């Protein structure tokens, strides 16, 4: 790890194909700055991405990375972290990726408390497939597949995380660059699963959850004097569907990450040239 890493070192030379004004630009910049700020460099960082606009992030960032299949980024991140406790693992996804097809994995990654950060670019719509309802779309949000709205309540990812036993729950806004970066940094530094839901507006298909909407409605928890270690206070904020919050909602200060609980400390890439020296004991066990 070199100390002179700049956030631009995490940038690839590929120009993003996101729509001009997409919230994902700000989300990604914050992620890169947070990684650099927390002392990581591209050679010891692994970024896992799913499918969708958010999934393109692995292409635009420079690090070890895998761009996988829809909804399965968290299991991949879990595997990387277990094999390599020495490597910084960041998983990026979207609301469809994380809370629809990947919802099952989300619940289990949260309860395992794997030591990685999970940044979800939540634009409350399916962008890359040109504007269908997502699990976080409002119940009256009209789209090509839901002309009268989905008529079902949106998933509350923060509540889902809380109910699953999360040790770190936060929310940020792509456009509030500094706060977003700070929050992602806290997620990285957290010993365990650092979950950040990011409001990342889709300027092409979502004319409801816009930059202006979030600017007008966002309440910063830090300014409100919220104590993230207070579980009851966190619960109240997370279940409050009348407001949009940003900041760290909940953090378990006693969090022990999965690999530590299971005594995994070694770099699993190191193996002997042949069978281990005491391997015949494996055979003798069957006498």
Partner 1 sequence: MVEDLNWAIGGEAGDGIDSTGKIFAQALSRAGRHVFTSKDFASRIRGGYTAYKIRTSVDQVQSVVDRLDILVALTQRTIDENVDELHEGSAVIYDGERSWEAEIPDEVTGVDVPLKSIAEEAGGAIMRNTVALGAACEITGFDVEYLDEALEKRFGGKGSKIVENNKEAARKGQEYVRENYDVDLGYDLETTDNDYVLLNGNEAIGMGALAAGCRFYAGYPITPATSIMEYLTGRIEDYGGHVVQAEDELSAINMALGAARGGARSMTATSGAGIDLMTETFGLVAQSETPLVIADVQRSGPSTGMPTKQEQGDLNMALYGGHGEIPRFVVAPTSITECFWKTVEAFNLAEKYQTPVFLVSDLAMSVTEQTFPPEAFDMDEVEIDRGKLVDDDEVDEWLDAQGRFRAHAVTEDGISPRAIPGTEEGAHMSTGLEHDELGRRTEDQDERVQQVDKRYRKVETAQEREDWDYREFGDEDADNLVISWGSNEGALAEALDYLEEDVHVISVPYIFPRPDLTEEIEAADEVIVVEANATGQFADLLEHDALTRVKRINKYTGVRFKADELAEEISEQLSAEVPA
* Interface positions with partner 1 (CB under 8 A): 12-14, 42-48, 58-59, 62-69, 72, 75-84, 86-87, 104-105, 107-108, 259, 262-269, 271-276, 279-280, 282-284, 286-287
**CB 189 to partner 1: min, Å:** 19
**Burial (CB count <10 Å: 0-12, 13-18, 19+), residue 135:** buried
Contact 72, 105 (CB under 8 A): yes
d(CA 70, CA 109): 16
Best CA proximity match to 51, nearest among 121, 111, 108: 121
Best CA proximity match to 23, nearest among 106, 124, 147, 105: 124
Taking the least distance from each CB to partner 1, the nearer of 82 and 163 is 82
**CB 1 to partner 1: min, Å:** 10
The structure tokens listed for 66 are 């895998």
**CB 113 to partner 1: min, Å:** 13
Taking the least distance from each CB to partner 1, the nearer of 4 and 253 is 4
Contact 68, 97 (CB under 8 A): no
Best CA proximity match to 194, nearest among 135, 260, 257, 136: 257
The SS3 of residue 119 is strand
**CB 255 to partner 1: min, Å:** 19
Taking the least distance from each CB to partner 1, the nearer of 10 and 141 is 10
Tokens 């996804």 locate to 93
d(CA 276, CA 270): 12
Taking the least distance from each CB to partner 1, the nearer of 45 and 175 is 45
- Helices 73-83 and 103-112, packing angle to 10 deg: 30
Across-strand partners of 93? 120
Taking the least distance from each CB to partner 1, the nearer of 42 and 127 is 42
**CB 27 to partner 1: min, Å:** 18
**CB 194 to partner 1: min, Å:** 17
d(CA 15, CA 144): 29
Taking the least distance from each CB to partner 1, the nearer of 52 and 228 is 52
**CB 11 to partner 1: min, Å:** 12
Taking the least distance from each CB to partner 1, the nearer of 21 and 276 is 276
């Amino acid at each position: 790890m070199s100390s002179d890493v700049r956030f631009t070192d995490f940038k690839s030379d590929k120009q993003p194909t996101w729509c001009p004004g997409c919230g994902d630009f700000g989300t990604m910049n914050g992620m890169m700055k947070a990684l650099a700020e927390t002392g990581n460099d591209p050679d010891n960082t692994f970024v896992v991405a799913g499918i969708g606009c958010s999934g393109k992030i692995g292409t635009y960032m420079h690090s070890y990375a895998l761009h996988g299949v829809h909804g399965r980024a968290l299991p991949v991140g879990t595997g990387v972290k277990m094999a390599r406790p020495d490597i910084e693992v960041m998983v990026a996804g979207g609301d469809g990726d994380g809370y629809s097809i990947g919802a099952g994995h989300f619940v289990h990654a949260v309860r395992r408390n794997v030591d990685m950060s999970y940044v979800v670019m939540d634009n409350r719509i399916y962008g890359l497939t040109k504007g269908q309802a997502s699990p976080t779309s409002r119940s009256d949000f009209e789209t090509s597949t839901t002309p009268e709205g989905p008529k079902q309540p949106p998933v509350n990812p923060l509540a889902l995380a809380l109910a699953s036993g999360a040790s770190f729950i936060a929310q940020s806004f792509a456009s509030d660059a500094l706060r977003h970066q700070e929050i992602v940094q806290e997620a990285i530094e957290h010993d365990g699963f650092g979950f950040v839901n990011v409001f990342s507006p889709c300027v092409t298909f979502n004319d409801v959850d816009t930059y202006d909407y979030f600017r007008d409605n966002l309440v910063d928890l830090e300014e409100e004097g919220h104590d993230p270690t207070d579980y009851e206070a966190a619960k109240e904020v997370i279940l409050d569907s009348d407001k949009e919050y940003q900041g760290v909602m909940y953090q378990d200060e006693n969090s022990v990450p999965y690999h530590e609980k299971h005594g995994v400390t070694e770099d699993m890439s190191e193996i002997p040239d042949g069978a281990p020296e005491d391997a015949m004991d494996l055979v003798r066990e069957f006498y």
